[in-house]
Structure 1
Amino acid sequence: MNIASRLKEVSQDKGEKIAYHFLDTSVSYRELDDSVSHFAGGLESLGLKRGDHIALILGNSPHFIIGLYGALRLGLRVIPINPIYTPDEMGYILSNGDVKAVITLDLMVPLMGKLESLLQSVDHVILCESGDDRAKGVDLERIGLLNPKMKSFTNVLSLGGTDFEGAEVAEDDTAIILYTSGTTGKPKGAMLTHKNVYSNAWDVGTYLQMSEQDRVITALPMFHVFCLTVALNAPLMMGATLLIAPKFSPKGIFGLSRMHKPTVFAGVPTMYNFLYQYTDGDPDDLSSLRLCISGGASMPVALLKNFEQKFNVMISEGYGLSEASPVTCFNPLDRPRKPGSIGTSIMSIKNKVVNELGEEVPPGQVGELIVNGPNVMKGYYKMEEETQAAIRDGWLYTGDLARMDEEGYFYIVDRKKELIIVGGFNVYPREIEEVLYDHPEIVEAAVIGVPHPEKGEAVSCYVVRKDPALSEEEVMEYCRERLAKYKLPSSIEFLEELPKNTTGKILRRALKAQVLNP
């Protein structure tokens, strides 16, 4: 079983059920599955075959879903790419990933033209109509005549039929290659098999009790693994309805909620912060939610409690990473939720905390979190050495420092690489950030380590404040009352906003790069 064949099952069982709402359009499961079959057949008619690589350079739209499931039905390997990447970033992934076809927006025609001379292996560029005013002058038919490599999505869709059977794929065939953000060196392509993708989506949907009654807001970027599994694949496997937001905005989410009465929302902590801070947000608009899901980064406990109190809905915080498809933990729905915890291991998956020798440490002790289960990637594409370093004896080493309590709840302490060592003492950035988030005049905070001539490293804080009158000395005094001396910031800098990636995750490494390379 794989997610493309599961979609076929759902369409046969619940054909008239609405699969997704997008802008003013509502599409049933039968209509969606028919489009997927048409598109898979169209791709085959272009000469693409099982095992070929196809890239999706798209935002949140039906084109992404049809492209993803159509490619998987044909047995292709899908590489989702962030559409706001630079030409160099895209070019590296397309080249390293041996991509033969690209599905992207009509807006991207100029960029595709720039990349064409560098990417001789790309045989087809399939262009989707964006409806964006910036693309009004783009004539897809004319472009196709001038450049045979370029085709319109609509034309490819018309080449196939609903009777397309699909390719025979094995569960250990690579389904998706996710390029990591490349915090150290070039991005690495995590190869996820059909079994990885299917098992994690099924386990997440089951663990979070998703059903055909659910209406899930899909506002996270679809090219990101958090959205792919939690807010796209899992709901579709369970027959739920997607409420697709083209992009995240507080105004848009409240409007979508008033119209469609969602039951599930998934987001990163920054999204929750924006929703909480939005002055025009009416708690009644979110009253239909039964569950909120947070991941992608640790959520400050103060934000979690404030959001839950304001909107009267529980947030279940979880944990995952691209190499694990991605989810390994969630706070359970049938037992007490513990603020600050990423929860317990979900079904089929084992998590444990180990020391430098790979030996499990006692509850309460900090070590590296490692993961084992059917969700763990088969390896990094064309990077055998890096694969062997990441997967040892079947366990994926996450690079995250964590601890486990006596009841099996895990707590992320920090990234192993972001640990700050001040005069021989370990300082975890998240601990200081939690203190800062508790301050009523602080909206956001990030903490990094910077070189210090005597202590090795020092703590540097970056803060977004509500009140411009809030001073550095006031924040320092606040910290002195709550932190041990060696944990105290050496500096506090006020910013208009913190650097974030496209999912809204605060990028400590970007801050560090600015500090060390001004």
Structure 2
Amino acid sequence: MKQWCKIFDEKFKNQIAIVDENDLEITYGELYQACFLLHNKIKESLGLKRRSVLLYLNPDADFVISFFAILMAGHTPFLVTMDLKNELESLSQHFDSVLTKSSYYDYLSKFIALDKLDIVEFEKEKGELSSYKDFVFDENQAMFNSHSSGSTGVPKLIPGTLKKFLKTTRGKTISQMVSSNDFVFSLAPFNHAYGFLVGVFIPFYYGSRIRIKNNGFSFQDICNASVINETTLVVSTPPVFKYLVEYMDTLPKNFFEKCRYFISSAAKLDENIIEKFKEYFNLKIFEIYGSTEGLIVGTRDTSQTLNWKIEEEIEWKVEATQELLIKTHLRPNQEEEIWFSTGDLVNILDESKGIFELSGRLESFIKVKGVKVYVHEIEQSLKQLPLIKEVVVIKHPAEEESIAFIVPTEEGDPKKIERTIREFCSQKVASSRIPNIIKILSEIPRNKTGKVVLSDLKKLI
């Protein structure tokens, strides 16, 4: 394990690994000690047979320790969002034990049998470190199982293998971006494949320091972080950018003076936010396109282009439907990669370099007088209208119609706002790109990573 995580490399034992929200500095050696002690407890509790252990923890040091301790004990972490409630009971068949904090014990006991619940609390151990052991982990085994629902609301139990993580971590783009000298501010949720990969796994592979913010974030959390002026990389999701753009006038332009990149994923950033962020802070935003199944598929440095580039280590092809397919490992012990359908439609701009633009989802088009019109095109047309603050367009689940969910710039009577929008559309927008149905909302439902929750929108139809 020391080949891919510096927690297990004795040479790094005195280097800082984590700075938590209370400014407590934890070395790689102290992390190893905590992982070693917890792995012993897990082995005593679960035995030798490989089992699945659910992590119901905030993204803090306890989460990191528990994740690696579970691997050391020969078991598989199960990652879930902490927003789950009744779903936990239905998921209980997929895990054998739960690691959580005492503060969540009573709450979880409503959904999960008490004999499955175990408590974990990190405390700095005094005295000598346990002797280092070279724990072996088969890279074809599931390194974690993820309860991922993305924007659909439909749970998917997706395993992530070490082989897949290492392929991304050692890729050309990442290897040129991260080093042991970096101080990474991790603001993306660890229970998401992107958040854990880029916010924890990759920094620990290269021996970086990470700043952890427990239980979400706020604008004040970012501003008050004592290490902000030391930060060189920020791993985030679109809501972070939205906060910063809204409050940027209150921050000095050199606020992130040592920061080389802001990294974002989980949902596509709005181009207006990218421009405002770049103009004010003069910072590069490095955006990642991927999925839980394929991890990092493509990237773009928004300071140079808004087009995407498929990673060099990814084998890909485009179907006649314009859907992008990639080769990846989808199951543990799967020796060969197989073709995976991303569901994303792309327009290849330079095949030799893998340059492309995203044009929508496979199912996201309607036929207008026999011609395909993608909901993404309708969205882009509506965004030009000054009275629209935010818009999401989807295809009607039962009809060949488009539905636009719109947040207007000003409050008012929904019927009057709709009439005004339609009047603007008739003058400014091609008839094929005028939505069939318009719904006026106060806000667009999104999850913590910034993805639109399509299941919530469909309930409004």
TM-score normalised by the chain length of structure 2: 0.87
Match of 2:374 in 1: 428
Q: Which amino acid aligns with 1:369?
A: L
Q: 1:450–1:484: structure 2 CA closer, same or farther, 3 Å change rule?
A: same
Does residue 1:238 correspond to 2:206, yes or no? yes
Question: Matches of 2:226 and 2:315 in 1, distance apart?
Answer: 36
Q: 1:126 aligns with which of 114, 118, 123?
A: 118
Equivalent in 72, 88, 91 of residue 90 of structure 1:
88
Query: Using the alignment, how far apart are the partners of 1:355 and 1:106 within structure 2?
Result: 54
Distance 1:267 1:463, change over 3 A: farther
CA 1:184–1:493: 2 relative to 1, 3 Å: closer
Question: What letter is aligned with 2:318?
Answer: V
Shift of residue 345 of structure 1?
A: 2.2
User: Given the alignment of the two structures, is residue 410 of structure 1 paired with residue 356 of structure 2, yes or no?
Assistant: yes
* 1:450 counterpart residue number: 396
Q: Does 1:349 align with 2:349?
A: no
Instruction: Report whether the alignment pairs 1:178 with 2:146.
Output: yes
How many angstroms apart in 1 are the aligned matches of 2:209 and 2:337? 39
CA separation of 1:451 and 1:508: change in aligned 2, threshold 3 A: closer
Letter in 2 for 1:104: T
Pair 205,111 (structure 1): closer, same or farther in 2 beyond 3 Å: farther
Once residues 65 and 337 of structure 2 are traced to their aligned partners in structure 1, the CA distance between those partners, rounded to angstroms, is: 37
Structure 1 284/3 Cα, relative in aligned 2: closer, same or farther at 3 Å? same
SS at match of 2:138: coil
How do 1:44-443 residues align onto structure 2 when only pairs under 5 Å count?
A: 44-49=43-48, 51-87=50-86, 89-95=87-93, 97=94, 99-117=95-113, 123-128=115-120, 162-163=130-131, 165=133, 167-181=135-149, 187-203=155-171, 206-207=174-175, 209-246=177-214, 247-256=216-225, 259-278=228-247, 281-282=250-251, 283-324=253-294, 326-331=295-300, 337-339=304-306, 341=307, 343-355=308-320, 367-373=322-328, 376-378=329-331, 394-406=338-350, 407-439=353-385, 442-443=388-389
Does structure 2 retain, via aligned residues, the 8 Å contact 1:459–1:487?
no
Match of 1:149 in 2: none
Q: Among 417, 424, 427, which residue is 1:471 paired with?
A: 417
Residue 78 of structure 1, CA deviation: 1.1
Return the alpha-carbon distance in structure 2 between the equivalents of residues 259 and 300 of structure 1. 25
User: After superposition, what is the alpha-carbon deviation per residue over 1:411-444, rounded to whole angstroms, capped at 9, x for unaligned?
Assistant: 2222223334444333323333334445555443
Aligned residue for 2:46, secondary structure, equals: coil
**Which string of whole-angstrom CA distances, capped at 9 and with x for unpartnered residues, describes residues 25-61 of structure 1?**
1111221222222222221122333621111111211
Flag the 1:319–1:402 CA change in 2: closer, same or farther, 3 A: same
| Paired AA for residue 460 in structure 1 | I
Over 3 Å counting, the alpha-carbon distance change for 1:168 and 1:216 in structure 2 is closer
Contact 1:18 1:26 in 2 (8 A): yes
Q: Does 1:495 align with 2:433?
A: no
1:460 correspondence with 2:403: yes
Shift in alpha-carbon separation, 1:463–1:254, aligned structure 2, 3 A: farther
Secondary structure of the 2:118 match is: strand
CA distance 1:509–1:480, change in 2 (3 Å): farther
Contact 2:88 2:112 in 1 (8 A): no
Amino acid at match of 1:276: V
2:67 is aligned with what amino acid? L
TM-superposition CA deviations, 1:108-167 (whole Å, max 9, x none): 2233322345xxxx85422245xxxxxxxxxxxxxxxxxxxxxxx779x99xx8237365
List runs of 5+ in structure 2 lacking aligned partners.
none
1:183 deviates by: 6.6
CA distance in 2, matches of 1:478, 1:310: 31
Alpha-carbon distance between aligned partners in 1 of 2:147 and 2:165, rounded to the nearest angstrom = 15
CA deviation vs aligned residue, 1:205-264 (integer Å, no higher than 9, x gap):
734511122221211111011101111111121111111112122221232276443221
Q: For 1:262 and 1:163, locate their aligned partners in 2 and report how far apart those are by CA, in whole Å.
A: 32
SS at match of 1:286: coil
Cα distance, 1:478 vs structure 2: 4.5
1:54–1:281 distance in 2 versus 1, CA, 3 Å: farther
1: CA distance between counterparts of 2:387 and 2:232?
31
The CA RMSD over aligned residues, in Å, is 3.2
Looking at structure 1, the residues matched to 85 and 438 of structure 2 have their Cα atoms a distance apart, in angstroms, of: 32
**Which one-letter code corresponds to 2:17 in the other structure?**
A
Of residues 504-513 and 240-249 in structure 1, the stretch that sits farther from structure 2 once superposed is 504-513
Contact 1:2-1:198 at 8 Å conserved across structures: no
TM-score, structure 1 normalization: 0.78
Helix, strand or coil at the partner of 1:431:
helix
Question: CA 1:162/1:439 → structure 2, altered by over 3 Å: closer, same or farther?
Answer: farther
Residues paired across the two proteins, number: 452
The answer to whether the 8 Å contact 2:89/2:112 transfers is no
Distance 1:465 1:28, change over 3 A: farther
Alignment of 1:496-515 (within 5 A): 496-515=442-461
Counterpart Cα distance in 2 of 1:165 and 1:225: 27
Asked if 2 retains the 8 angstrom alpha-carbon contact of 1:205 and 1:238, the reply is no
Q: What residue number does 1:135 align with?
A: none
1:353 and 1:102 map into 2 onto residues whose CA distance is 41
Asked whether the equivalents of residues 367 and 400 of structure 2 are also in contact (C-alpha less than 8 Å), the reply is yes
SS for the counterpart of 2:450 is coil
Cα distance in 2 for residues equivalent to 1:268 and 1:483: 31
2:26 alignment partner in structure 1:
27
Which whole-Å CA distance do the structure 2 matches of 1:227 and 1:309 have between them?
A: 26
CA distance in 2, matches of 1:245, 1:61: 7
